[in-house]
């Protein structure tokens, strides 16, 4: 019997390893050599994958480091450094066999000692690591190529936790862990297809092909399968100005650029030498309520806020066209067919002013001032807040926007005395069991016993059908409790040179298997 990509008491040669196509154009022949010039949005704060939640740290890091598992094209957990995995029901234990003869960039060979040291550190430093290790009773080496993860309760999400690229469960050599401990790692050594070469802050970051890279045999599928470094080097250039990123691709200075303005899409389509990349799914945008104090410690006030919204107007003001946003109640996205749910507790996108007013009256809200922290650094957040505030005045809310920089929001959102609402966005999550917003320690302070029980059931139910039933119940409970107000899904626009081949728009961009014509 299979569940969650694991077969009970049997080694899964691949944990649902993808057998799909190689994602290559018909008859295309990869060309090796050269430099890929990438305009990235800014300077990574660190290259230690365990140390930061910054997306730019992860998007550089997964070219250098690898984990036991990664994600395939359908966002399932599949092996990377793991060769196989067995879940032993009787002992609630994952037995993971490693691939043999996998070299690190320093010439050492991957072993169980490296995995144990790396995962123990990840479990202390990473948000996802702490979530997983709360259910781990033991992590142990069995032999040189085998590790066991013993659990307090059976859980199907362990492979996903180990695969998720955000704060990646990267495997470092044990010698690196011994040297740096829980301090920031500054020896950037992994097993990935590219190795660290040079970093000149605010100028460039260079990764070079790792000639001894040990690729797996499976056909490429998403981030899974065979990885080939066709380029001699990746040159990643921090380029904060959106217009400079686009102009750089137009002129040939860059081969590809992260995030450009969505209203540039018609112009990009006019140029035969460049191509747009629309990443869908991506994130969704939201207002997060402070549930530690009045008025939003009352679920009726939160429900009234959600009911007062006309979501199409809120999203339309922030994004260039409907090509870049979608109205949908799902916590996970429509593209995640195994998890997408329409359950909304009867609240999403209803724009029911009468019902909202009745709830405010019932809860005793009488126009007390509400402080909403938003920012222009993420323009969509400011525009969402501006339109939503005007809509909610008609319902009876007295909202005062306070425009600050993003760093201030990050600093203050954990202080229950600093705000009533803050603007935010939640990133793509491949499995609902690892969605960080369910954690009561996440900003906004959603402390709810029923939520916690459903999350526990979700993360300990091994049958996929039963898991989905729990998930629908949990998403419906989310909407009834309304810990935050989802406005809608949104997608981002990138741009690349037409000669750059085999690069896809994905929430997790990578450049192995890509080449220039």
CB 375 within 8 A of CB 423: yes
CA distance 495 to 254: 10
Q: Do 460 and 504 fall into the same domain?
A: no
24 part of a folded domain: no
23 part of a folded domain: no
Say how far residue 116 (Cα) sits from the centre of its chain.
Answer: 24
Q: Which pTM does this prediction carry?
A: 0.86
| CB count in 10 Å sphere of residue 33 | 11
> Can you give the CATH number for the domain in which 78 is found?
3.40.190.10
136 part of a folded domain: yes
Q: Do 404 and 510 fall into the same domain?
A: no
142 part of a folded domain: yes
Q: Do 298 and 366 fall into the same domain?
A: yes
Q: Do 409 and 379 fall into the same domain?
A: yes
Secondary structure (3-state) at 330? coil
CA distance 14 to 163: 13
Q: Do 445 and 482 fall into the same domain?
A: yes
Number of domains comprising the chain: 2
Q: Do 192 and 318 fall into the same domain?
A: no
Q: In Å, how far are 59, 414, 421, 423 from 297, measured between CA atoms?
A: 37, 15, 12, 18
CA distance 133 to 253: 45
CB 471 within 8 A of CB 455: no
Q: Do 285 and 417 fall into the same domain?
A: yes
Say how far residue 405 (Cα) sits from the centre of its chain.
Answer: 22
CA distance 478 to 455: 11
Crossing angle between the packed helical segments 464-481 and 449-458, to the nearest 10 degrees = 160
DSSP letter at 14 equals S
CB 166 within 8 A of CB 58: yes
Q: Which domain holds residue 138?
A: 34-241+499-516
> Can you give the CATH number for the domain in which 322 is found?
3.10.105.10
Of 36, 167, 15, 105, the C-alpha closest to 501 is: 36
In DSSP notation, 444-474 reads T----HHHHHHHHHHTT---HHHHHHHHHHH
Q: Would you give per-residue pLDDT tens digits along the chain (517 residues)?
A: 333 344 444 333 334 333 333 444 444 689 899 999 999 988 999 999 999 888 889 999 999 999 999 999 999 999 999 999 999 999 999 999 999 999 999 999 999 999 999 999 999 999 889 989 999 999 999 999 999 999 999 999 999 999 999 889 999 999 999 999 999 999 999 999 999 999 999 999 999 999 999 999 999 999 999 999 999 999 999 998 989 999 999 999 999 999 999 999 999 999 999 999 999 999 999 999 999 999 999 999 999 999 999 999 999 999 989 999 999 999 999 999 899 999 999 999 999 999 999 999 999 999 999 999 999 988 999 999 999 999 999 999 999 999 999 889 989 999 999 999 999 999 899 899 989 899 888 999 999 999 999 999 999 999 999 999 999 999 999 999 999 999 999 999 999 999 999 998 999 999 999 999 9
Q: Do 59 and 100 fall into the same domain?
A: yes
Q: Do 198 and 295 fall into the same domain?
A: no
Q: Do 510 and 442 fall into the same domain?
A: no
Instruction: Give the list of residues 6+ apart from residue 441 with CB closer than 8 angstroms, or none.
Output: none
Q: Do 182 and 331 fall into the same domain?
A: no
């Amino acid at each position: 019997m299979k569940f969650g990509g694991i077969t009970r008491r049997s080694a899964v040669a691949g944990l649902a390893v993808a057998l799909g196509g190689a994602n290559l154009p018909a008859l295309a022949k990869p060309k090796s050599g050269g430099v890929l010039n990438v305009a990235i949005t800014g300077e990574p704060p660190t290259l230690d994958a365990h140390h930061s939640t910054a997306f730019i740290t992860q998007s550089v890091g997964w070219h250098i480091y690898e984990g036991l598992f990664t994600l395939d094209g359908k966002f399932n957990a599949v092996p990377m450094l793991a060769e196989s995995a067995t879940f032993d029901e009787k002992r609630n234990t994952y037995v993971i066999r490693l691939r043999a003869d996998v070299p690190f960039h320093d010439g050492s060979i991957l072993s169980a000692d490296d995995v144990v040291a790396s995962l123990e550190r990840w479990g202390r430093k990473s948000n996802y690591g702490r979530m997983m290790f709360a259910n781990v009773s033991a992590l142990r080496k069995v032999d040189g190529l085998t590790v066991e993860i013993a659990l307090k309760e059976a859980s199907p999400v362990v492979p996903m936790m180990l695969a998720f690229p955000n704060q990646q469960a990267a495997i470092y050599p044990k010698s690196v862990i011994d040297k740096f401990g829980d301090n920031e790692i500054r020896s950037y050594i992994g097993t990935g297809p590219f190795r660290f070469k040079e970093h000149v802050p605010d100028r460039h970051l260079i990764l070079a092909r790792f000639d001894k890279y040990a690729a797996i045999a499976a056909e490429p599928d998403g981030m899974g399968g065979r990885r080939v470094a066709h380029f001699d080097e990746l040159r990643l250039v921090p380029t904060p100005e959106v217009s400079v990123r686009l102009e750089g691709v137009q002129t040939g200075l860059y081969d590809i650029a992260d995030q450009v303005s969505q209203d540039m899409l018609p112009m990009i389509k006019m140029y035969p030498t460049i191509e747009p990349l629309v990443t869908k799914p991506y994130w969704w945008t939201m207002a997060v309520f402070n549930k530690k104090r009045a008025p939003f410690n009352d679920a009726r006030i939160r429900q009234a806020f959600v009911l007062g919204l006309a979501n199409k107007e809120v999203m339309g003001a922030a994004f260039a066209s409907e090509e870049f946003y979608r109205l949908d109640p799902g916590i996970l996205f429509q593209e995640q067919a195994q998890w997408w749910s329409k359950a909304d507790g009867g609240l999403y996108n209803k724009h029911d002013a009468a019902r909202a007013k009745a709830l405010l009256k019932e809860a005793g809200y009488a126009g007390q001032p509400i402080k909403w922290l938003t920012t222009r650094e993420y323009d969509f957040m400011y525009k969402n807040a501006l339109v939503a505030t005007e809509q909610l005045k008609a319902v009876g809310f007295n909202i005062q926007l306070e425009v600050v920089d993003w760093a201030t929001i990050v600093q203050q959102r954990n202080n229950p005395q600093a705000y009533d609402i803050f603007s935010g966005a939640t990133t793509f999550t491949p499995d609902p069991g690892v969605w960080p917003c369910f954690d009561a320690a996440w900003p906004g302070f959603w402390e709810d016993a029923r939520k916690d029980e459903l999350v526990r059931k979700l993360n300990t139910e091994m049958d996929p059908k039963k898991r989905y039933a729990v998930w629908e119940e949990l998403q419906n409970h989310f909407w009834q409790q309304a810990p935050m107000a989802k406005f809608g899904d949104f997608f981002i626009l990138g741009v690349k040179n037409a000669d750059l081949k085999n690069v896809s728009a994905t929430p997790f961009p990578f450049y192995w298997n890509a080449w220039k014509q």
